[in-house]
Structure 1
C-alpha cells in the first residue's frame, strides 16, 4: 500500500479529529484543506447529533457529516439534514419496555432533527440548558421515530450495561457505545457509521477501497471493517479502544498529537 492514496477521508470527531478541549489544531485544518484542494472530500463520521455540528462547521466551512452513528447525513455548509434512517416508534416502545423490565434504573433520551428530549431523571452530561433540549415523559419520547435512542445507567459498569442492552435489543436495532459511562447508543437496524459512509462515498462514485477512516471507539468498528475488507485504510488513534485496535489496518498518534494530520501527511 506504499503508493495508496485515499479518494475520500472520513474521520470521527471526539478523541480523533478533536483535541480534548474540543478544538481542531491549525495543523490538522491545514492538512485537511490540502487534501480538499486536490479534490478529496472530507467527511465527518460521528456519534454526535446534528445540533452539535455548529462549531465544527465554523472550522471546516463545508463538507458532509455523518451524524448519530450513521442515522443522519448533513450538508454542513447549508446546515441541512439531507438523509435520515430513523428508529421507528414501535421498536422504540418495545426496546424501552424491555430494558426497563430487565433493569428498572435505566433512563432514556432521544435525538431527532435538532432536538434532544430526555426523561426528567436522565442526567445529560452536556448542553443541559441549550436550545432544543427539554424534558419529556417516556411515552412522549417513544411517540415518534428518532435518529438515536440513548439508554443510560448511573451505577452499572459500562461493558456490563451495553451487553445487557444488546441482549434485550436482540437484533431489532443497532447497539453501540462511544463513552466511558454506561451509555448505550441505539439506532435503527443496520444503521452504522459504515452504512452512512457508504451512502456518502457512493454519491461521489467511490467505494470502501477508496476511503481512509480514522477513529478511536467501538462505534467506529463497523466503518473500520467496511474499508478494511475492501483494501481501504482503517486508522486507529494510539489511545483507541482495544476492540477498535484489533480491526485497524494502521495506528497513528493521539488526537493531542495531531494523529490524523500526521497520517495523512505520510501519504
Structure 2
C-alpha cells in the first residue's frame, strides 16, 4: 500500500461553521491514520488557535501555521523548525501603502506576539487568546 500525506486546512475546510470538527470528518481522518496515512494540519492560524484541533485529532505530526510561515512539530523538540515571516521591509511597505486608507484596523502576528494598529475593541479576545504579548500603536513605528 502506498502511504499518503493528507494535509487539511481548518477554516472553511475541516471545521464546520460553529468551529467544530464533524463526527464524520474525525472518523475519516482516524480511518486514514489507521490505514497508515499521515495527517497534518495546514492553516493560516497561529498554533495557539489550532492546538485544540491538533490535540482533538490526536495528531503526532508536524503542523503548518501562518499559511506556511511556520512549520514545527509540537511533540518533537528535535524537529527543525522552519520559520519564514514576511520580511520587515515588505511589511513596512504594506503599512505605508494603506496608511491613508480608511482601514478599520491592521493586525500583525509573529509567532505568538500580536500587534494592532488601533485598539482592537470587539476582536481583541480572538487574536490575543494565549498570546505572549499584545502591542497597540502605529505599526510603522512599532515594527521597526
Same fold (TM over 0.5): yes
- Which consecutive segments of 4 or more residues in structure 1 shift more than 3 A? 76-81
TM-superposed deviation, 1:104: 4.7
1:135 aligns with 2:132: no
Number of equivalent positions: 137
* Contact 2:119/2:136, CA 8 A, preserved across alignment: no
* Contact 1:46/1:66, CA 8 A, preserved across alignment: yes
RMSD: 2.6
Instruction: Tell me which residue corresponds to 2:5.
Output: 8
2:86 is paired with a residue of what secondary structure? coil
- Aligned with 1:71 (options 59, 66, 69): 69
Q: Residue 17 and residue 125 in structure 1: after superposition, are their counterparts in 2 closer, same or farther (change >3 A)?
A: farther
2:106 is paired with a residue of what secondary structure? strand
TM-score, length-normalised on structure 1?
Answer: 0.45
* Contact 1:109/1:117, CA 8 A, preserved across alignment: yes
Instruction: Tell me which residue corresponds to 1:120.
Output: 118
* Contact 2:7/2:39, CA 8 A, preserved across alignment: yes
Q: Where do residues 1-267 of structure 1 align in structure 2 (5 Å cutoff)?
A: 7-62=4-59, 63-78=61-76, 82-101=81-100, 103-105=101-103, 107-123=105-121, 124=123, 126-127=125-126, 130-132=129-131, 134-137=134-137, 138=139, 139-140=141-142, 142-143=143-144
Q: 5+ residue gaps in structure 1?
A: 144-267
* Contact 1:57/1:76, CA 8 A, preserved across alignment: no
2:81 is paired with a residue of what secondary structure? strand
TM-score, length-normalised on structure 2?
Answer: 0.78
Higher relative contact order (CA 8 A, sep 6+): 1
